[in-house]
């Protein structure tokens, strides 16, 4: 396996990895009525806006088995998501009036992005999403992806990086402190982590 920069045409592979890891690190196929929503919210906007801050793990047979994506300025990214990306999704579901299902909750999250400031963005302006299929986990590629991104962000003088993981994703919650992230105050159902870069 190797790490390489994201390139145009990787989007379907990234969407597949996102789907197969979206349920707290497990396969989310069939969890929502529309499997494509996961990628439309959590990976594709990042490579559309910041393709230069995206890398993939490529298996020996050429398959993409993991990725890291990043927004270097969370406030600007969330505003762009709210005003440009999400409205342009012609297949997006309408805003649900209440939360009856997991899909309702995720759709409401998408509509609400950018409406309020992130509590972490001032000290840790960049944020990331990283996902690895099981075959790429425990191989050191997660750490290498983080190191690659951190080096790039430091070169751009970004002062900090954060991420939010599901509290149910025990593997991720254990992984981030091992690669230099510090736990941050967060809601009961998520775990937030930050890393100063200055």
For 2-157, which CATH class?
Answer: alpha beta
Are the beta carbons of 179 and 153 closer than 8 angstroms? no
Q: How far is CA 3 from the centre of its chain?
A: 17
175-182 CB contacts, 8 Å cutoff, 24+ apart? 175/142, 178/143, 179/142, 179/143, 179/146, 179/147, 180/146, 180/150
Task: Compute and round to an integer the Cα radius of gyration of the chain.
Answer: 16
Query: Mind giving me the DSSP string for 63-109?
Result: -EEEEEEEES-HHHHHHHIIIIIHHH-TTPPPPPSS--SHHHHHHHH
> Looking at per-residue confidence, does 132 or 91 come out higher?
132
pLDDT tens, 42-68? 999 999 999 999 999 999 999 999 999
Residue 26 has what DSSP assignment? Answer: B
Residue 66 has what DSSP assignment? Answer: E
Tell me what pLDDT residue 129 has: 96
On whether the pTM is more than 0.85, the answer is yes
Which residues lie across from 54 on neighbouring strands? 69
Assign 170 to helix, strand or coil.
helix
pLDDT tens, 92-132? 889 998 888 999 999 999 999 988 888 899 999 999 999 99
**Two structure tokens written together for 61:** 């047979």
């Amino acid at each position: 396996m190797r790490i390489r920069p994201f390139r145009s045409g990787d989007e379907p592979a990234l969407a597949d990895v996102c789907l197969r890891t979206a349920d707290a690190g497990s396969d989310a196929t069939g969890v929502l009525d529309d499997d494509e929503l996961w990628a439309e919210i959590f990976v594709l906007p990042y490579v559309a806006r910041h393709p230069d801050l995206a890398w993939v793990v490529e298996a020996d047979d050429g398959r993409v088995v993991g990725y890291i994506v990043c927004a270097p300025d969370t406030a600007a990214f969330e505003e762009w998501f709210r005003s440009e990306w999400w409205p342009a999704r012609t297949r997006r579901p309408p805003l649900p009036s209440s939360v009856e299902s997991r899909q309702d909750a995720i759709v409401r999250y998408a509509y609400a992005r950018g409406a309020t400031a992130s509590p972490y963005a001032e000290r840790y302006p960049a944020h990331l999403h990283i996902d690895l299929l099981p075959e790429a986990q425990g191989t050191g590629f997660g750490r290498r992806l983080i190191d690659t991104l951190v080096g790039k962000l430091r070169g751009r003088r970004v002062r900090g990086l954060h991420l939010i993981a599901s509290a149910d994703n025990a593997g991720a919650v254990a992984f981030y402190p091992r690669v230099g992230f510090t736990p941050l105050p967060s809601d009961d159902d998520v775990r937030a982590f930050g890393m100063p870069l200055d």
